[in-house]
Amino acid sequence: MRQKVVYIISFLEKSLPMEWVVMNLDRTRYDLSFIMIGKEDTPFIRFLEAQQVPCTVVPYNAKKDLLSGFFTILRLLRRLRPEVVHVHLFYAGMIGIPAAWMAGVRKRIYTRHYSTYHHDFYPKGVYIDRVINFLSTKVVAISPVVEKVLLAREHVPPAKVLRIPHGFDFSYFTRQPAEAEAARTRYHIPADAYPVVGVISRYIKLKGIQYIIEAFAALRKQYPQAHLVLGNAQGDYKPVLAKQLAGLPAETYTEILFEENVRALYAMFDVFVHVPITPEGEAFGQIYVEALAMRVPSVFTLSGIAREFVEDRVHARVVPYENADAIREATVDLLEDAGLRATLATRGYDAVVNEFGMPQMIRRLDAAYCED
């Protein structure tokens, strides 16, 4: 008999790693279904429909919906009677894990997708995290950074913590020139723009975008045709970044709220920049893996999973935190040294393929779901 596994996820538009999990889990062993908190129509929900995976949407518009959402999920779980509930993201954890506990689900797994954010910016959230940790039978750390927070700062019993990094289907990360050209046309990137400096990051202070904009302004003195592309351009730091961007000519940058085909964005970039301002700013940092998988010459600070394997001038140019001058200098270094670009492209790709393949992740999930 197949084991019933219910995923509960909050506010997810699209996630390639989650799609790959659905496609790679053995459906002869697992009866999968999803409870999605948030919008009723997203690319991920459409993906589930195409895969014929049952999905129930629990609408959420404001905090007032938390209680009704909790009881809706509780009723669903009592009806479905799953052996495993696997919960992703904070709001899903806040109501999904307690609902699974009250429904008597024996295996309650919570994947922690953030590290110190609540400790640094939202202390009340730490109390909720502790409740989630307590009611979960296993807490998944997606990186050593998260594992350290769980063990040292939140005192989760070591036996309860599993480390399961994200897995990637690297066959996806193949450059498609037609896709890149279509994206360039769609977003009105000038044909003579060079270099195209790419960023894919929410507008929050921790991501360090403020230093990228400063570095880009200086870069334009040397490369007047340079163009800055800001993907996922939304978040609570937007007013601050908007003031910075106002200092640039409007035709020199493009903001993209959401692009479903992230591969097309990477293929447009001559240089990619991702510079979180602290070592713990990223819990994992999927963006590091994607950029290296696409062989885009990159400028990084070391945060999240990058701390475990990225080396300067081996996989990317590594710069200090909060240093616009260093970002500009590293970008110029990449633009002017073709040999370095080629070396980083090869070694960066090899590193992520060896560390973050889907088979490794699926084996770890199998072990978690089947553990007695």
Q: How far apart are CA 17 and CA 172, in angstroms?
A: 11
pLDDT band of 311, cuts 50, 70, 90: very high
Percent of the chain surpassing pLDDT 90? 95
Give the torsion through C-alpha atoms of 266, 169, 293, 190, to 10 deg: -10
Please, is 88 exposed, middle or buried when counting C-beta atoms within 10 Å of its C-beta (0-12, 13-18, 19+)? buried
Q: Which of 56-65, 131-140, 195-204 has the lowest mean pLDDT?
A: 56-65
Residue pair 195/226 in contact by the 8 Å Cβ criterion: yes
- Domain spans of the chain, in order of start: 3-169+357-370, 172-355
Which tens digits make up the pLDDT trace of 233-265?
A: 999 999 999 999 999 999 999 999 999 899 999
Q: How far apart are CA 284 and CA 274, in angstroms?
A: 13
pLDDT band of 121, cuts 50, 70, 90: confident
Q: In CATH terms, are 3-169+357-370 and 172-355 the same topology?
A: yes
Residue pair 33/49 in contact by the 8 Å Cβ criterion: no
Q: What is the mean pLDDT of residues 66-87?
A: 97
Q: How far apart are CA 276 and CA 207, in angstroms?
A: 4
Q: What is the mean pLDDT of residues 172-184?
A: 92
Give domain 172-355's CATH architecture.
Answer: 3-Layer(aba) Sandwich (3.40)
Taking CB atoms within 8 Å and a gap of at least 24, the contacts of 158-165 are 160/133, 160/136, 162/109, 162/138, 162/364, 162/368, 164/111, 164/140, 164/361, 164/364, 164/365, 164/368, 165/284, 165/305, 165/355, 165/356, 165/360, 165/361
Q: How far apart are CA 114 and CA 345, in angstroms?
A: 28
pLDDT at 55 over 90: yes
> Residue 148: what pLDDT?
95
pLDDT at 64 over 90: no
pLDDT band of 63, cuts 50, 70, 90: confident
Q: How far apart are CA 115 and CA 17, in angstroms?
A: 19
> Residue 62: what pLDDT?
85
- Paired strand residues for 261: none
Summary mean pLDDT of the chain: 96
Percent of the chain surpassing pLDDT 70? 100
pLDDT band of 61, cuts 50, 70, 90: confident
Residue that wins the pLDDT comparison between 372 and 324: 324
Q: What is the mean pLDDT of residues 309-318?
A: 98
pLDDT at 357 over 90: yes
Q: What is the mean pLDDT of residues 329-338?
A: 98
What number of residues does the chain have? 372
> Within 13 Å and on the Cβ side, how many CA atoms surround 42?
21
pLDDT band of 1, cuts 50, 70, 90: confident
Nearest 5°: phi and psi at 370?
A: -100, -5
pLDDT band of 16, cuts 50, 70, 90: very high
Does 3.40.50.2000 match the CATH number of domain 3-169+357-370? Answer: yes
pLDDT at 372 over 80: no
> Residue 331: what pLDDT?
99
